[in-house]
Amino acid sequence: MIRYTLACDKGDVFESWFQNSAAYDKQVKAALITCPVCNSVKVEKTMMAPGVLGTKKKRRDAPPSQMPPSPQQSSHTPPPHTPSPAAMMSPQERDFRNKLKELRDHLTKNADYVGRKFPEEARKMHYGETEHRSIYGEATPEQAKDLHEEGIEFHPLPVLPDEHN
């Protein structure tokens, strides 16, 4: 087994074990090695492979390790770039979110807020009792269902996943 320190085209560095260097070559060509951080398959060996190129160690005074590797102590240090649980929004998602916000801002700016009277107001407009205008407000799922069944068209106000960045 041989350990290589690999880097992807985005600059993430991670370590991986291979049967031998030929196995590494084969897996790279077959795009079987992916970056654990960004899943890129464009990975290559880096020159800074501390575990592999042991002969190039500069510190000669370090005592050589006499301990044979045992399963109990083979707890490797975590890779330098441990994926974090934080969600990243892609530019498209960010864009989409901004559009939603625009739409919502536009709606709330140009429509009358009628609150819980929304079903009532929507119905009045639908049956010609009041003039058509843009309104927004609240409706329970049951009320929304009733409105739909009466053929009254309305749309749910877009809800943003998160207001703060």
* Interacting residues with Zn ion (CB under 5 A): 8, 10, 12, 35, 37-38, 40
Assign 74 to helix, strand or coil.
Answer: coil
| 71-108: b (≥16 Cβ within 10 Å) or e | eeeeeeeebebeeeeeeeeeeeeeeebeeeeeeeeeee
Taking the least distance from each CB to Zn ion, the nearer of 36 and 143 is 36
Q: State the minimum distance, in angstroms, from the CB of residue 83 to Zn ion.
A: 10
Taking the least distance from each CB to Zn ion, the nearer of 37 and 135 is 37
Taking the least distance from each CB to Zn ion, the nearer of 6 and 135 is 6
The residues near 83 (Cβ < 8 Å, ≥ 6 apart) are 36, 37
Q: State the minimum distance, in angstroms, from the CB of residue 122 to Zn ion.
A: 51
Residues in the chain: 165
Taking the least distance from each CB to Zn ion, the nearer of 12 and 121 is 12
Q: State the minimum distance, in angstroms, from the CB of residue 85 to Zn ion.
A: 17
Q: State the minimum distance, in angstroms, from the CB of residue 42 to Zn ion.
A: 8
